Amino acid sequence: MKKFFARLFSKPDRPEHLKQTKPFDQSQNATTAPLSEAQIASIVNQNGLHYEPHQLVVGCGQSIGRQRDLNEDSLLAFTSTISGNFGSTPIGLFIVADGMGGHQYGEVASNAAMRAMGGYIMRKFHPMLFGHPAQSPDESIQEIMLGGINEAQRVVQREAPGSGTTLTAALVLGQQITIAHVGDSRAYMFYQDGRSEVITRDHSLVKRLEELGQLTSEEASVHPQRNVLYRALGQGDLLEPDIITIPFQPGSYLLLCSDGLWGVVPEETLLRSIRETPNIQRACHAMVEAANLAGGPDNISAILVQFLS
């Protein structure tokens, strides 16, 4: 990890051809010419644009749904871009937490988990983002994410005893995504070639039965205990989160969402929302609206992220 940040923030040597360049003579007249309509149209309409600096584009959507009186979901979306002579690297932290329905203080649990996880990660990266000179963390990214989950577990148990929440967090550093996950909120990837993939694994009873071959996916989707979790923040002393690292391909999309979205809206509809709306913010809200049109049985939260380079 230290090599990654050293490469990110090191100051490169000045190229020889720039060292030998003479200062600009201000006495020389510089001339400009307005762009033609054809040139403007070419710029606006061209595909395959190269974006500099590299950046993350984000949309968020949330709804209480149509059958709940209380919103027990919480989300966080933070992005930053560091750019200069050393290059450019987008940084993002995204979290979705879904307080467990039927438990007291589910909304307190999700909010506490989101803030504890987000605060822990930001404190670890603050010296790298704003220190001078920049200081990279001593731990690996996976260790930092695990530490954030453990901190969230302690805070939930203190602030909302007896309650629980899911938590799915994604830390983006350049073209790398590291995900920490507990519960049945989900992370998806949608690729430019039309493929979609569920990145996380549901920590639910029906998913486990499906993995053991005792239920089909169709049976699991309508099972009366489909919302029962065997792993969640705030529940029990021992917690084993899933922590994975995957590449973030340019042009692809990362989606974090609660089961209020993925439980009622099929993947094909999620993909259509991305393809058929004019921007990522509208796509995210189209997904939330689709969940409400499907009955909105639960709170709905979604964060949609695209990597541009």
Task: For residue 180, give the CATH number of its domain.
Answer: 3.60.40.10
Residue 193 lies in a domain: yes
113: amino acid identity, one letter: A
Please count the structural domains in the chain: 1
Residue 10 lies in a domain: no
Position with higher pLDDT, 126 vs 216: 126
R_g (Cα) of the chain, nearest Å = 23
Q: For 255-304, how does the pLDDT look when each residue is reduced to its tens digit (9 = 90+)?
A: 999 999 999 999 999 999 999 999 999 999 999 999 999 999 999 999 99
Using DSSP's 3-state secondary structure scheme, residue 184 falls into coil
Separation between Cα atoms, residue 146 and residue 167, nearest integer Å: 12
Structure pTM? 0.84
Separation between Cα atoms, residue 20 and residue 16, nearest integer Å: 6
Residue 228 lies in a domain: yes
Residue 13 lies in a domain: no
Residue 166 lies in a domain: yes
Q: For 177-194, how does the pLDDT look when each residue is reduced to its tens digit (9 = 90+)?
A: 999 999 999 999 999 999
53: amino acid identity, one letter: P
Question: Mind giving me the DSSP string for 84-139?
Answer: ETTEEEEEEEEEEEEBPTTSTTHHHHHHHHHHHHHHHHHHHHHHHHH-SS----SS
Under 8 Å between Cβ of 266 and 221 = no
Show the domain range for 108.
54-308
Residue 20 lies in a domain: no
Separation between Cα atoms, residue 49 and residue 45, nearest integer Å: 10
